Structure 1
Amino acid sequence: MGGLLAELGKKIADRWFTLLVLPGLLYVAALAAAHALGHAHPFDARRVTDRLETVDADAASAAGLALLGAYLLAAATAGLTAQSLGSLVERLWLAADWAGWPPPLRQLAALRTRGRHRRWTEAVSNYHETREKAAAAHVRARLAANPPIPARPGPALSSPLPSPRELAHRKILRIAAEPPTRPTWMGDRLNDATVRLNRDLGLDLATVWPYLWLTAPDTTRTEIIAARETLTRATTLAGWGLLYLAVAALWWPGLPIAAAVLVTAWRRARTACDMYALLVEATAHLQSADLAHRLGLEPTGPITRETGTALTDLVRTRPPQLDGPVQTVW
């Protein structure tokens, strides 16, 4: 047992050093270089080398050791700050509790949610109009008196162009698959799984998920944990991007660096959020029948809405009954 705990502690320490301290060392070095260069001489490398020569001259002294310790401490502090900022960014991007945000963030989130819902409604209306036009054109072609002229043979296209209906459907998915209720795409992507499971299977995902998680196979849980950790790493990268804005305040080339880090983090977070939501929804579809069987519901065949509703009611916590006298324990 002691060896297991020691190995686990070693892995945690290695991971903490890799994910936080090493990027922190790079950040502190970039911040020191930005302070040495400034806006007036952004590419004068001699300023940095002169500063490094001064540090090398004092490296063997007590002041140099203190400077090295301060450097390591600053790197660790920067890593923890990036992690905290990443948690804040994750809360903003997922926006699960945006209705409880303080003003004016709540008003801005509500305005953006209404705008996304309006654009989604327009995209859905355009999709149905495009589908109706395509169906009408197909009927007209079938009712035409003249037979269609056979197409001349030509080079085969490796990737045919998407139809207008496919383009209209992609426009819907770029906003949200279900009616938007959150101000961000990532927030709606996670909420879409909950909406579909409730509508199609009668499952309240927040209520049933702990039971699904406990009965899911180890391989399934490993995949979900990996997807969730990928999302966390992406939001932590966004935290580093916010920290690099301090570098940009001292050295203007740091601004494109910070922008590149933030854009990369945003793209990775969207991909990870999509994968995480897909795995959660797939797990609910695959494991709900097994969970219902374990709880004695005995479903026959694929899980139905009636079975999902019964499963949710079975595991939902009910408030206490107040029919009899209330007993107070002091």
Structure 2
Amino acid sequence: MNAFLGELGRKLAERWVTLLLLPGALYVAVVTVASVLGHGRALDPRGLSSWIDGLAAAPGAGQVGIVVLVAAGALATAAGAGLAAAALGEGVALLWAAEGRRGPGRWLAEWRRERWRRAYEKVVAARRAVVLSAVPPHGADLEARAALRAALDGCRRICPVPADRPTWIGDRLRAVDLRVHHAYRVDLEALWPRLWLALQEPARAELTEAYAAYRASARLTGWGLMYLLVALWWWPAAVVAVVTLATAWVRARGTAEALADLLEGAVDLYGRDVATALGVLIADAGLDRASGDAVSALLRKDGALHPEPADPPAGLL
């Protein structure tokens, strides 16, 4: 038990240093430089050197007690900055998944719906062109098929299902629920806790790692917003903020895509195990829409109060 607790404490300390302390220390250093140099001497290394020399020459600068207090204060400030970035990251993750029913979120959602509608119209037109260009026995014209693939790719880049959220990430995560229900008529919200219990350890590890990467992207966005605040006093921080925010958004899209694929794959591979354990399926039978209906009704336990959800709109890609 002592060995286990020691190892657990070591891992927690490593995560604390990696996630909070080191980025926080860098942020505190940038804030310090910003407060010393400001906009007027933003890139003046001599001004920073003179300030450091002044600190070193200050009375009591070499006393152990003062050094310890300064170091402890710096560590505490760095940890506080890390916690602030983590809190901002939580807010960012909520905004990414927001439904967007009012204000700017509603405008963005409507814009994405219109973009998806126009893209899907191109898919419909390209499919019609493929059918009209089909000449037996050679099949459809190659150019028409290439145009259809390009139209499908363009529509999928917006969203694999009809867009409805202000952000790409929100729509991509929402698409998992719709695609699973479309394929199996399973209520993913009710299924997920039971599915997690049925997952094998490698699958759990992959999902946990994917979710941690997604949360890390949100936390990196929090750091970018904090550097943007420092840019009010020191303009080079704006460059850092822009680079950080751009990197965070690219990572967020990639991690959200990976997380969505793993969530959907978990249902495909292990949903049958849940249905079998619940007695809905016999061994080795496949999960289908009929059995998915039965699983959803059994898990929700409120089917009499809430009717079955309708099928998602046409256009699943």
TM-score by structure 1 length? 0.84
1:261 paired with 2:244, answer yes
Does residue 44 of structure 1 match 2:40? no
Q: CA–CA distance in 1 between the matches of 2:257 and 2:230?
A: 32
Does 2:96 correspond to 1:93?
yes
Aligned to 1:306: 290
- The 2-side partners of 1:207 and 1:301 are apart by 21
Match of 1:230 among 197, 213, 223: 213
Q: Give the match's secondary structure for 1:6.
A: helix
Same amino acid, percent of matched pairs: 35
Task: State the 1:298 CA deviation.
Answer: 2.6
Change in CA separation of 1:54 and 1:111 when aligned onto 2, cut-off 3 Å: same
Between 45-54 and 267-276, report the one with greater CA deviation.
Answer: 45-54
Counterpart for residue 171 of structure 1: 154
Q: How does 1:1-330 map to 2 (within 5 A)?
A: 1-58=1-58, 59-61=61-63, 62-95=65-98, 98-99=100-101, 106-139=102-135, 163-299=146-282, 301-318=285-302
Question: Structure 1 CA distance, aligned partners of 2:125 and 2:168?
Answer: 24
Root-mean-square deviation (Å): 2.3
Unaligned runs of 5+ in 2: 306-317
CA distance change for structure 1 residues 245 and 79 in 2, over 3 Å: closer, same or farther? same
Does structure 2 conserve the Cα–Cα contact (< 8 Å) formed by 1:55 and 1:64?
Answer: no
TM-score computed with the length of structure 2 as normaliser: 0.88
Q: Distance in 1 between matches of 2:229 and 2:136?
A: 63
Q: What is the CA distance between 1:290 and its match in structure 2? A: 1.3
Larger Rg: 1
Write the distance in 2 (CA, Å) between the matches of 1:301 and 1:42. 68
- State the aligned residue count: 297
Verify the 8 A CA contact 2:220 2:244 in the aligned structure 1. Answer: yes
Rounded to whole Å, the distance in 1 between the matches of 2:24 and 2:251 is: 20
Report if the CA contact (8 A) 1:235-1:269 is conserved: yes
Provide, for residues 226-273 of structure 1, a one-character-per-residue CA deviation record: whole Å limited to 9, x for no partner: 000000111111111011012211111111110000010011011000
Q: Structure 1 residues 319 and 142 mapped into 2: Cα distance closer, same or farther (>3 Å)?
A: closer
Preserved CA contact (<8 Å) 1:186 1:270: yes
Question: Which moved further from structure 2: 162-171 or 76-85?
Answer: 162-171
